[in-house]
Amino acid sequence: MRSLQSGPQMKEYLKVKSIIDTLSVIRNAVAAFNRGSNRDVSVALIGGYAVIFFGVERTTLDVDICFYSPEREAASAFYAFLKEHLTVRFHIRFIEASKDPSDPLKHDLIIINDSEGEYPRIDILVLRYKWELEGLKQAKQISELSFPLMPLPYLSAMKLMADGFKDELDVIELLKVMTEEEIEKVKELAKRVGRDKKLQLILKKLKRS
């Protein structure tokens, strides 16, 4: 795996206690969730912080994490567990996929907010597609944070599916740091998720720049 961001921006983010502690909160919660009923839960960092750790300069306020458990009703089970496990400072909401019009992928979503304002908002996206799970299984641990990172091609595919303006900008910047092999994988994933035409347009923009 490539060397991740290690310049001033990375060092600045690693100084932010709340970011490191936020990931620790989720890591510890997942470990306790697994111990409680012998579940096989996987998590990985996605979203803006994942983009930053791949070397792209950008800002973000929320911490985005993807979550998967093979059991039925995994999202509601983890939500119920978090309500019992986390302290009262954390306000937890559960949004079913069918009730979140802003998500074209139709994921269940768990949102955690800190009433004391020390921790950033945490969005836990519950994965549901085979290609997402394929990427999650390949997630590598980030030594600086002791937390897995969604592989670059799969992170880019998620960004292609999201359809937001900022997501497209992220894809453009991520393509710049990819190897040829990774770009080919993104092309394969884009075709699988029906975003190959969108990716072709982005690649054309890159060639002209």
Domain regions of the chain by residue span: 1-150, 151-209
CA triplet 77, 156, 181: central angle to 5 degrees?
125
d(Cα 79, Cα 142) in Å, to the nearest integer? 25
In this structure, CATH architecture of domain 1-150: 2-Layer Sandwich (3.30)
Q: What is the pLDDT of residues 84-120, one digit of tens each?
A: 999 999 999 999 875 555 555 678 999 999 999 889 9
**Per-residue DSSP letter, 120:** P
Which residues have CB under 8 Å from 7's CB, separation 6+? none
Greatest extent of the chain over all pairs of C-alpha atoms, in Å: 54
pTM confidence score? 0.88
Q: What is the pLDDT of residues 151-207, one digit of tens each?
A: 999 999 999 998 788 999 999 999 999 999 999 999 999 999 999 999 999 999 888
Residue given tokens 């093979």 in the structure block: 70
What are phi and psi for residue 89, nearest 5 degrees? -65, -20
